[in-house]
Structure 1
């Protein structure tokens, strides 16, 4: 049994029943679960608590970005749901990240990991240039990851393309959580920057976020086990 599974399954369902049908097929020893903005808005904190009660490590992916005090309170509230990990936007700045980290440390679940989003994996160079001029996605990711580490956070969300670059600057303890992972031969979907699970792990990724390739598979558990085998 794997005590720290590397695959985080992104739950993207518009009904609780559909989500639960998938979750009943899964094993907390084989994967972690990610709850994002859509499902949290639809089903609320009780849904998250239900997943935690089933023994799953839950990554609450709400990407908080606001004034430091507001983000700190939100992160503390998230930690108190019992989640394994929560995230903020690194572009919220050093103070915002530091206060969020401090708030989690003072919560009833101080072990909750806090990571920061650098550049969204849906953004390419052209789109980034509309927001920040004169930097490539790789440069912006590296800059924000350094700020995240300075703030004392546990790691970052980044694309697999940047993982190799970041591993040159940060130790293995600094977590790299990577969406846009697709097994060879599957659809890219709306992610612009993608990679296979094996390639990502070789490049130093800590955890792989995978959605549709598993959630929409004919046999989700078999597909998950195949991915786990490929990265073992």
Structure 2
């Protein structure tokens, strides 16, 4: 099957007009009411929100997306679509019609091509490479007899060829992606953990601090628990925003476009 052409804006990625958009807060809460309360509490400290599977299983999911967009927020629909290509394409088209900003899909070639071909607006399609909750042992259990970095790079290259815009990748693979993948690649990095020696362990295994991830070339950082479980979520978000701003300035790029922000 021939590769679909890239998204019309892929060669010149949309510029980040506000470095605050680099922080994506994970609204991993059980219902839309809890999500709205958190958004209100975080106010202007967060401009970009991830709405994932937990909320997708709750009433009011699409109304929440519309509410966020009406408030001028960016929306990352992280549902990791994985189904027959026609079904994935139909789902992408429905979300694209709601003007969401990012959608995640699994990195199967036919799925990536179908998803990229289905969108008509400015929605960005991101391929999942290797979940940050997986380590080398987990990958072996899943039947991947290869280096995680090799797998991530291969999927990133194939995603762009398929017409997708970028990938979700651990910070541990970022430097290699930035060194070897095309400059147009948008990188979204979960598993971000500010330095906190007292933080309890969680299910993320391949993690990185905001400063380290920005230095390695991340465009966007997904942060959940360190903000959501803080005594003062707004203050925690503000602190991470400041860390990101400092890291970007130190990297010497200022406000830059995705994929060109090294």
Q: TM-score, normalised by structure 1?
A: 0.91
1:194 and 2:193 correspond? no
1:122 and 2:133 correspond? yes
Q: 1:62-98, CA deviations, whole angstroms, 9 ceiling, x for partnerless residues?
A: 11111111111111111112211111000x22x3212
Aligned to 1:212: 225
Aligned to 1:32: 48
Q: 1:3-35, CA deviations, whole angstroms, 9 ceiling, x for partnerless residues?
A: 661000001111333222211022457430000
Q: Runs of 5+ in structure 1 lacking a partner?
A: none
Cα drift, residue 122 of structure 1: 0.8
Query: Of 40, 47, 51, which aligns to 2:64?
Result: 47
Q: Runs of 5+ in structure 2 lacking a partner?
A: 1-16, 246-262
- Retained in 1: the 8 A contact 2:133–2:205? yes
Query: Of 186, 208, 226, which aligns to 2:239?
Result: 226
Spell out the pairing of 1:1-232 with structure 2 (5 A cutoff). 2=18, 5-27=21-43, 30-43=46-59, 44-90=61-107, 92-93=108-109, 95-105=110-120, 110-185=121-196, 186-232=199-245
Number of residue-to-residue matches in the alignment? 226
Q: 1:176-212, CA deviations, whole angstroms, 9 ceiling, x for partnerless residues?
A: 1011001011444110110100000000011000001
Higher normalized contact order (CA 8 Å, seq sep 6+, divided by chain length): 2
Cα drift, residue 215 of structure 1: 1.2
Output the aligned Cα RMSD: 1.7
SS of 2:119 mapped into structure 1: helix
